[in-house]
Chain A
Amino acid sequence: MQAWIDFGQGPLFRLCFALMILGLMRIFILTIIGMIEAYNRNEDKIVPFAELIRLTFSWILPITRVWTKRPVYGVVSVLFHIGLILVPLFLGAHVLLWKNSVGFAWFSLPHALADNLTLIVIAGGIILFLMRAIYRPSRALSRKQDYIWPLLLTIPFVTGYLAVHTAFAPSAYQWTMLIHIYSANLIMVTIPFTKIAHCVLMPLSQLVTGVSWKFPLGAGDKVIETLGHKDRPTWVKEPRVALDEDSLSGKEIASK
């Protein structure tokens, strides 16, 4: 058992960690290269940078974006992310592991705060899973990995919490550590190849759309002309809010 734990903490951890870092760098660079190529192909070279930056930053705090519709989701999601990022990086025990292996260390969270954040992540993961499973529009948009990730992410937190508070399961300490280490390794390996890659792609998320999704100049006008609706107002010029109103049917929008 101890040999498996040592392997998970040593060589396997190095493999998974390196794969995560290099894989994220790879996907970041490939995205940027793809974006540059798309930009070079486009006829329309106008990129609304100010707007894209504003959008990107506003999505960092999604509460501002989804407050009107799904406030619970917005709050839980933000809290979940805070714990998810801070605890693995700044937990005292993790920092100590780094210090013992590579020789340098950094700031660590107070013990009580780390504990509470861990509990928030566990609760948040479960709530996010349930909301996704129960809320019909989310279910329609979800892939398999969307259900798996919130639960998978909580596994190292549950086992980590049990490992710190050994009073819960004193005899199963090694098993707890084993699951903790191997589930964390599994997460690190899969991050660059699944949606969790948004941890580095997030700054590019709006930029990619703004730079690469271009129709040829004047394409919209030509389509309308071809369809013979030249005198009709187009919905693009309407305020965005109108689209979010479920009560308005397509006809009503067109008549506006």
Chain B
Amino acid sequence: MNRVQNFKLILWTIIGVGAAVAAARFIFGLGATTNLSDAVPWGLWIGFDVMSGVALAGGGFVITATVYIFKLDKYHGIVRPAVLTALLGYVAVAVGLLFDLGLPWNIWHMIIFWNPHSPLFEVGWCVMLYLTVLLLEFFPVPAAEFGWLSTIRNFLIKLRMPLVIAGIALSTLHQSSLGSLFLVMPFNVHPLWYSPIMPIMFFVSAIGLGLMMVSFESRFTSYLYRKEAETELLAKLGNAAKWIFLLYLLMRFGDLFLRGQIGHIFAGGWQVKMFWVEIAISAAIPLILLSIKRVRTTGAWQWVISIMAITGIVLNRINVGGMVHLNRGDTFYLPAWTEITITATVVAGAALVFLFMVERFNVWEVRPVDPKADPSTLPEFDYASQASLGRPLIAARTKYSLAFVFAAAFGFMLLSNQSLSSEGVIAASVEEARGGDTLWVDGDLDGYGVSFQHQMHIDKNGNETSCVQCHHMNLPLDENTGCYACHRDMYIPTDAFGHDWHSSPHGGNLSCFKCHQEDQHKNAETAQQCDHCHDNLYPAGATIKVDNYHAPGYVDALHELCIGCHVKLIEETGSPDIARCANCHNDQRDVVEAVDGTKENILIGNVALP
């Protein structure tokens, strides 16, 4: 049995199904291919691909620190695989993120448009910088194969210490900043997980996970390539990991105790069960097993412990990342099979690149040889037809591509008809803004709106003359018609003209040739304009010119109108805050109370914690 080839065949099969799902995701969008919703916008992809991908890469900074900073040279043999794992982990994060972002092509915006108030700003910069550092750290290994890269390679080897230090600093920042990310949602994360020291706990658990990941990877590749396992070395790593797990457990329970939330661990509910499962397999059981010397020096137990701990800490990240979020309403999130497939595909891709690197470059002391892919082996023959499959390389290529093609076709079959035709934008009709001097602008009446100081805007912009700055089109016999009359949907452009209505009895039962010319094609270009019949359609001096009758969606129209003017005000007032989101979208609770007087809508957006 050829373990390497079989494993690669499985990976290619996963990637094949994933390719079909990925195509559907990028063509039809997130709504068509995931179980994510507005209530649960973060799910498996953030929890596993991003949060766990980063954590799994923890081995990189732990081992480089051990070898290059603390000078423990006995671990030197596992530096390069650890750095490679970290690099691939971060690449997987970046790729996984592209699937999860609604507009992935805007990912570079963060580099240009800085928003230092956002925790994601730190997370994003750490990912970019650490990915760069990891690339530079690993680059000398493949570069050794290419003579013309030797100058760059030598330069990077000289730079090793600064790179290692930068890598450790950035990792420390980044592992913990993923925790900080969840500090901003105290009402979402379950109290058993939400803690002010979440950043520190993320960092500590990442160290433990890093060690376990290195251990798992070493055991797995030894199995795959039938090489001698580094049991002694892994036992030493396990001994170190033991103390990390102890520290982590003390922090988890000490924190619960000090915050007074310890009572939750005995409460019912699936989240509490999840907590116990997570604590048991992420730290408690590995801690007990690693404390026994005979266990941690046994190969089979090293498998068990590393897989258990990795699963546990990944579960922790998925829990914090979305599974134990308290949702508005009672929506319950379970990842769709498509989400799981994409996740598996990202992992499989990373594994394939790892195997490629290991076989092609000097990642280990000795390059592994897949006995059947050795150039000196004889060609393979198909058992049934006795047809030659060619040299092993060609045979492998044939098999892998076949697995990929079949799996991708199967993936397309599994995608249901529904997921292949997304619903598109859901129509949401617009209601008139309510109020007097202050208008409550909430087109779809979902409780999220803007309180618009109508009278104040009139006063500041020149009383009667100010109307035409915003009101640019009137209904017949009306003045200063409200926005909702034409912008009738929240997101979808609507028709401000109404062709069929005009030809109906209500609209005057007009004949075709009231607007169209008899000798011309009947279309919008050759028809009469509305002001041919209607007087006072456009107020004199209106700032906004109407050149066609497709009214943009309500949200787009108002954003364009308000922001356009407010941006100009930045220079006049000297305050950039005037064009920021929060200038208009301010505390909604007061507004709802002030405008409607009811308190029912006040708690929308927050769940009362137990």
Judge whether B412 and A15 touch: CB under 8 Å.
Answer: yes
Question: A110 in the interface, Cβ–Cβ < 8 Å?
Answer: no
CB distance from A179 to the nearest CB of B (A): 21
Question: B20 in the interface, Cβ–Cβ < 8 Å?
Answer: yes
Q: Select the stretch in A6-14, A211-219, A221-229 that faces chain B.
A: A6-14
Judge whether A30 and B401 touch: CB under 8 Å.
Answer: yes
Question: A26 in the interface, Cβ–Cβ < 8 Å?
Answer: yes
Chain A residues, CB < 8 A from B398: 30
Chain A residues, CB < 8 A from B405: 19, 22-23, 26, 192
Question: B458 in the interface, Cβ–Cβ < 8 Å?
Answer: no
- Which of B20, B412, B414 is the most central at the interface, judged by chain A CB atoms within 10 Å of its CB? B412
Judge whether B402 and A26 touch: CB under 8 Å.
Answer: yes
Taken together as a complex, chains A and B put the C-alpha atoms of A192 and B413 apart, in Å, by 18
Among A198-252, those with CB < 8 Å from B are: none
CB distance from A169 to the nearest CB of B (A): 29
Judge whether A22 and B408 touch: CB under 8 Å.
Answer: yes
User: Quick one: given A19-B406, A22-B405, are A30 and B397 in contact (CB under 8 Å)?
Assistant: yes
Judge whether B413 and A15 touch: CB under 8 Å.
Answer: yes
Judge whether A14 and B397 touch: CB under 8 Å.
Answer: no
Taken together as a complex, chains A and B put the C-alpha atoms of A22 and B402 apart, in Å, by 10
Chain B residues, CB < 8 A from A33: 397
Chain A residues, CB < 8 A from B414: 11
CB distance from B9 to the nearest CB of A (A): 15
Chain B residues, CB < 8 A from A34: 394
CB-based nearest A residue for B391: A37
Chain B residues, CB < 8 A from A55: none
Taken together as a complex, chains A and B put the C-alpha atoms of A17 and B413 apart, in Å, by 10
Question: A18 in the interface, Cβ–Cβ < 8 Å?
Answer: yes
CB distance from A197 to the nearest CB of B (A): 13
Total residues of chain A contacting the partner, CB 8 A = 19
Question: B527 in the interface, Cβ–Cβ < 8 Å?
Answer: no
Total residues of chain B contacting the partner, CB 8 A = 19
B413 contacts which of A18, A23, A101 (Cβ < 8 Å)?
A18
1/0 per position for A74-110, CB-CB distance to B under 8 A?
0000000000000000000000000001010000000
CB-based nearest B residue for A14: B412
Judge whether A11 and B413 touch: CB under 8 Å.
Answer: yes
Among B366-425, those with CB < 8 Å from A are: 394, 397-398, 401-402, 404-406, 408-410, 412-415, 417, 420-421
Judge whether A14 and B415 touch: CB under 8 Å.
Answer: yes
Judge whether B412 and A18 touch: CB under 8 Å.
Answer: yes
A12 contacts which of B397, B408, B413 (Cβ < 8 Å)?
B413
Judge whether B397 and A15 touch: CB under 8 Å.
Answer: no
User: Quick one: given A19-B406, A22-B408, A34-B394, are A14 and B413 in contact (CB under 8 Å)?
Assistant: yes
Judge whether A18 and B408 touch: CB under 8 Å.
Answer: yes
CB-based nearest A residue for B411: A18
CB distance from B395 to the nearest CB of A (A): 12
Chain B residues, CB < 8 A from A23: 405, 409
Chain B residues, CB < 8 A from A26: 401-402, 404-405
CB distance from A20 to the nearest CB of B (A): 8
Taken together as a complex, chains A and B put the C-alpha atoms of A216 and B339 apart, in Å, by 54
Taken together as a complex, chains A and B put the C-alpha atoms of A16 and B408 apart, in Å, by 11
Chain A residues, CB < 8 A from B410: 15
Among A11-67, those with CB < 8 Å from B are: 11-12, 14-19, 22-23, 26, 29-30, 33-34
Taken together as a complex, chains A and B put the C-alpha atoms of A11 and B404 apart, in Å, by 18
B409 contacts which of A22, A30, A101, A103 (Cβ < 8 Å)?
A22
Taken together as a complex, chains A and B put the C-alpha atoms of A22 and B401 apart, in Å, by 10
CB distance from B406 to the nearest CB of A (A): 7
Chain A residues, CB < 8 A from B409: 14-16, 18-19, 22-23
Residues on B lying within 8 angstroms of A by beta carbon are 20, 394, 397-398, 401-402, 404-406, 408-410, 412-415, 417, 420-421
Q: Can you list 13 residue pairs at the A/B interface with Cβ under 8 Å? A: A14-B413, A14-B415, A15-B413, A18-B409, A18-B413, A22-B404, A22-B409, A23-B409, A26-B401, A26-B402, A26-B405, A30-B398, A34-B394
Residues on A lying within 8 angstroms of B by beta carbon are 10-12, 14-19, 22-23, 26, 29-30, 33-34, 101, 103, 192
Q: What are the 10 A-B residue pairs with the smallest beta carbon separation, nearest first? A: A15-B413, A19-B409, A18-B409, A18-B412, A22-B405, A14-B412, A11-B413, A26-B401, A26-B405, A15-B409
